Amino acid sequence: MKVTVIVTLKPTVLDPQGNAIQRNLETAGISGVTDVRQGKYFEVEVSDAVGASERRVLIERLARDVLTNPVIESYRIEWE
Amino acid sequence: MKFGVVVFPGVNCDRDCRDAVTAVTGQPVEFIWHQETSVEGFDALVLPGGFSYGDYLRPGAIARFSPVMAAIGAFARRGGLVIGICNGFQMLTEAGLLPGALLKNAGTKYVCRYLHLRAESSETPFTCAMEKGRLLHMPIGHGDGNYQADRETLGRLEDADRIAFRYVDGDGRATAEANPNGSVSNIAGIVNEGRNVMGMMPHPDRSFDRILGSEDGRLVFQSMIGALSRV
């Protein structure tokens, strides 16, 4: 089964990469964009042998303890 | 006194750290492979700089799960001296042994140059050979050295005298211009609550001999050996 985890910087954390993208959009002929925040997107494949409740626990752990640094980031899980 | 330099795949300052500790302290140094599950017999540990696991995910994020990290955590909780330099600092924050996080440099660029630091406390085992306010000339080389922590954490660091180093200009002023990476309050290094774990982005391991451009880094290792011999 495929699960998607999206990790974003907390709103209070400065995002130099997103800022660099936003600042240079005019040169790409794109105007009117006032903010860009860059995040991370993970496609995770879980073995079908793992039961539904176990899968939930495992993905939560993966997202919370590995893919995210809770000091600066938050995550969202999309179950398909 | 036996020093251990912990080697993770992708770090590249392990030999610099060994050479620095050897040259400054004259004590035995051994490498500890990241698959080890014990750090028995060591008096102090060095987590060197580099790009552990290619810095994928976040710098230090994958190294944190190496088997040796559990042993290092236990060693630190027993009061053992642990210094993390550059990538080592990032590992210590990821592992929760130091508060806060190291983000991408505010200027987005990798910065590799000599700069000035100010010792903010002489009350740590890593800075006890320096007087407070002492200026040090040391190099940095990092893309993710932008130290950030929430206001409450910063207050705690400040109140408990846990900020070890700040980036300053040649006159010792912690200005915005002297800040190479956007770190909050120009922070370059901090210690944990027990004061036995320190993380710093600048490299004392690259500034222990005049031929390298500075020997101010010696003071960090001299402090450690001084603190260890007083125990």
- Indicate yes or no: CB of A16 within 8 angstroms of CB of B105: yes
pTM of the model: 0.94
Give chain B positions within 8 Å (CB) of A16. 103-108, 146, 182
**Average pLDDT of B182-197?**
98
What is the pLDDT, as a whole number, of residue B230? 84
Q: Is the alpha carbon torsion for B101, B224, B48, A65 positive or negative? A: negative
Largest CA distance in chain A: 50
Residues 6 or more apart in contact with residue B191 via CB below 8 angstroms: B98, B121, B124, B126, B162, B164, B197, B198
**Interface ipTM:** 0.86
Residue B83 is part of which domain span? 3-229
pLDDT band at A80 (very low <50, low <70, confident <90, very high): confident
CATH of the domain at B102: 3.40.50.880
How many whole angstroms separate alpha carbon B171 and alpha carbon B175? 10
Q: Inform me whether the pLDDT recorded for B171 exceeds 80.
A: yes
* Residue B88, number of CB atoms within 10 A of its CB: 30
Nearest chain B CA: its distance from A66 CA (Å)? 7
Domains and CATH numbers, chain A: 2-79 (3.30.1280.10)
Measure CB to CB from residue B101 to each of A20, A67, A71 and give the nearest one. A71
Q: Inform me whether the pLDDT recorded for B99 exceeds 90.
A: yes
- Give the position of tokens 């005049």: B210
* Residue B214, number of CB atoms within 10 A of its CB: 18
**Average pLDDT of A50-78?**
96
Give yes or no for B100 touching A (CB within 8 A).
Answer: yes
Measure CB to CB from residue A69 to each of B58, B149, B182 and give the nearest one. B58
pLDDT digits (tens, 9 = 90+) for B43-77: 999 999 999 999 999 999 999 999 999 999 999 99
